[in-house]
Structure formats: C-alpha cells, structure tokens
Amino acid sequence: SAVISQKPSRDICQRGTSLTIQCQVDSQVTMMFWYRQQPGQSLTLIATANQGSEATYESGFVIDKFPISRPNLTFSTLTVSNLSPEDSSIYLCSVGDRFNEQFFGPGTRLTVL
Amino acid sequence: QKEVEQNSGPLSVPEGAIASLNCTYSDRGSQSFFWYRQYSGKSPELIMSIYSNGDKEDGRFTAQLNKASQYVSLLIRDSQPSDSATYLCAVNRNGNQFYFGTGTSLTVIP
C-alpha cells in the first residue's frame, strides 16, 4: 500500500486563525479523502479531494470552512479556516485503491485555544 | 438510523480466547466491508476486507459477512494483549460513499 505522510503532526492554534494540513503520497492515487475524528468518536468524511477540480463535500461541511486543494495525484491540502475550539480534532487524509480499500495517513492533531 | 452500528464495548477477553466483534449496516446496496484497528493516538489500520457472503480468514482474523441479515463480524482467535485497540467497521456503499461505525473497544487481559 501507499506510504502517506501528513504535516504538521500536531498544532496548537488560536481562535480565528487557520491551519493548512498537507498530505503527501509516495505514488499516484486517484482517490484521496479528508476525514475528521473528534475526541472519542469515529471518523467523519469531510470531502473527497478531486484532482484538477473542486472537492466534493459531505453534508455539513462547506468549502469556505474547509477549502481543499489537489494540484496533482500525489498531494492535497486541507485548510481549516476561522478556527474555533469545536474544530479541535484529529484530521486524517486517506487514499483509496481499486478495491475500495482506504489507507490512512498518520493524522494531524489540532487543538484550538 | 445510523449507516453503520457497532457495540461500543468495552469488550474484555482473556488472553488466548476468541474475541467476537459485530457490526450492522443499514443500506442493502452496500458493496464492500472493512475492519480497521486503531490503537490509541494512532490512525486506523486496515486489517480485513470482505466483499461476498461467507467467511474470509487471514491468520488469526476471520471476517464474516451476511448480506441478507446486513451484518459483518470479526473474530480474533488466540487473542493477544497487543490486540487491545478500538476496532472500526466500515462500509462502502457506492464508490466514494464510505461510512464508519463508532468502534468497539477491545481489551485482552493477560
């Protein structure tokens, strides 16, 4: 399976600021996704990052709050904008394969003060 | 109704026993089914995929799928303390539609 890295691994941010998370894959992948995992909870899909076009957002998530870029088949960024303490969470990118399996990066732990 | 439901546990089993984890899903159109293991502070790790009715075995792990009853289970034989983790059931309905359960916490007691 692909090797996935995320940067930063963790950050502490002030309310009202933004954080951009990078996801790098060591091979070209078609399907790339962004998830949120709030403390003690399961994973919630934020959006599918589409190469060369706008991301596809799930219900409850909007582009203004979670802008996503996917400039090529190995890289994507997720920005969490106008941070509030409710955004404190772990953010995970994942990649999908032709069997619909998904493999996750190590995650970014965000704390908003 | 949630897309994917799991008992949150915690489930405790003695070392060497069989741990049985269960999951039900709501959409009969679901096509692919997965079990992930997540250690505390780590990201989920895929341990089993199953696509057709019946059993699929991989080492100490067996996944079972029953589409008619809309459930998926995971059996862990000869449980080890290192198996202590949260196990997430995931269901893929149609391409990018991927849903996770809330996870079952498993503790294997030495």
Computed over every residue of chain A, the mean pLDDT equals 94
The mean pLDDT value for A78-100 works out to 94
For B8-52, write each residue's pLDDT tens digit.
789 999 999 999 999 999 999 899 999 999 999 899 999 999 999
- The Cα B81–Cα B83 span in angstroms is 5
Does the beta-carbon distance from B98 to A31 stay under 8 Å?
Answer: no
Contact B19, B80 (CB under 8 A): no
The candidate with the shortest Cα–Cα distance to A53, out of A34, A69, A75, is A69
What is the model's pLDDT at position B25? Answer: 95
Does the beta-carbon distance from B92 to A100 stay under 8 Å?
Answer: yes
Q: Which of A28-32, A102-106, B51-55 has the lowest mean pLDDT?
A: A28-32
Q: Looking at CA atoms only, how far is residue B83 from chain A in angstroms?
A: 19
Indicate the pLDDT class of residue A99, thresholds 50, 70 and 90. Answer: confident
Q: Looking at CA atoms only, how far is residue B44 from chain A in angstroms?
A: 6
Beta carbons within 8 Å of B84's beta carbon, 6+ residues apart: B106, B107, B108
- The amino acid at B52: S
How many A/B residue pairs have CB atoms within 8 Å? Answer: 47
What is the model's pLDDT at position B94? Answer: 75
Contact A22, A16 (CB under 8 A): no
- The Cα A90–Cα A10 span in angstroms is 9
pLDDT higher than threshold 80 for residue A36? yes
Indicate the pLDDT class of residue A53, thresholds 50, 70 and 90. Answer: confident
For A11-27, write each residue's pLDDT tens digit.
999 999 999 999 999 99
Cis bond upstream, residue B10 (ω within 30): yes
From chain A, pick out residues whose CB is under 8 angstroms from the CB of B101. 42
Indicate the pLDDT class of residue A40, thresholds 50, 70 and 90. Answer: confident
Beta carbons within 8 Å of A59's beta carbon, 6+ residues apart: none
Q: Looking at CA atoms only, how far is residue B47 from chain A in angstroms?
A: 10
Q: Which residue of A23, A41, A100 to mutate against B (max B Cβ within 10 Å)?
A: A100
Beta bridge partners of A10: A109
For B78-102, write each residue's pLDDT tens digit.
999 999 999 999 999 876 678 999 9
Using DSSP's 3-state secondary structure scheme, residue B51 falls into: coil
Using DSSP's 3-state secondary structure scheme, residue A87 falls into: helix
